[in-house]
Amino acid sequence: MKKLIAIIIASIFLFNFILVPAQSDTFSDFDKAKKEEQKLVLELLNLEVERLKTQKSLENLAVEIVNKFSKYRRYKNWRPVASKNSLWL
C-alpha cells in the first residue's frame, strides 16, 4: 500500500514537472501576443489621430481658399463645386 501511494505521489510530481513548463511556454506566447496586439492598437490610434489632424488642416485650407476666392468672385451666388466627401460646404 505504501509503495502504491509512493508511486502515485512520484507520478504526480513527474506529471507536474512535465506540465508546468508546457503551460508557462503557452502563457509566455499568449503574453507576447497580447503585448503585440496592444502595440498594434496604439499604432492604429496614433494613425487615426494623424488622419484627423490632417483632415482638419485640409478643411481649414479649404475654408481659407473659399474666403480668398469670395473676395474676387463676380457673381453673387457663386459657390465652389465640391465632391460628396467634402465637409466644408
pTM assigned to the model:
0.48
**Pair 80, 69: CB distance under 8 Å:** yes
Q: How far apart are CA 18 and CA 22, in angstroms?
A: 7
From first to last of its 89 residues, what are the pLDDT tens digits of the chain? 777 777 877 777 777 776 666 556 667 788 888 999 999 999 999 999 999 999 999 999 988 888 887 776 655 565 656 555 555 54
Give CA–CA dist 45/40, Å, rounded: 9
